[in-house]
Amino acid sequence: MALVVCRQCKKAFISGPGDGETCSACIARLRKLYPLVRNFLRDNDRGGYTAQDVSRIMNVSLEDVVALISLGFMKLK
């Protein structure tokens, strides 16, 4: 176990083996956001969206969209 600063919210938390650098509260928030972003991308199959496009169109934090990508929840072109 180690004291880690969350990459998303910058709060310190105790990280166990395999927990990574994102706290459980931020992971829960991102898990709720993921299906919304996934459905948006699926329903708007125009393609070519950037993280900035998704953030602006869906009115969600760019940091959260980037976190979804960096944590492996999704891929954008």
Per-residue pLDDT tens digits for 15-67:
888 778 889 999 999 999 999 998 988 898 777 888 999 999 999 999 999 99
- 76 domain-assigned: no
Q: Tell the residue number behind the tokens 């960096």, with chain if given.
A: 70
- Banded pLDDT at 2 (limits 50, 70, 90): confident
**Into how many domains does the chain fold?**
1
Instruction: Give the model's pLDDT for residue 73.
Output: 74
Copy the structure tokens of residue 47: 């393609």
Helix or strand or coil: residue 13?
Answer: strand
Instruction: Give the model's pLDDT for residue 53.
Output: 92
- 41 domain-assigned: yes
**Looking at the predicted structure, is the pLDDT value of residue 77 above 60?**
no
Beta-sheet pairing, 2-5 with 12-15: antiparallel
* Residue 54 near residue 40 (C-beta atoms within 8 A): yes
Q: Tell the residue number behind the tokens 């125009």, with chain if given.
A: 46
The residue segments making up the domain with residue 29 are 2-70
Instruction: Give the model's pLDDT for residue 74.
Output: 67
- 77 domain-assigned: no
Residue 14: in which H helix or E strand, if any? strand 12-15
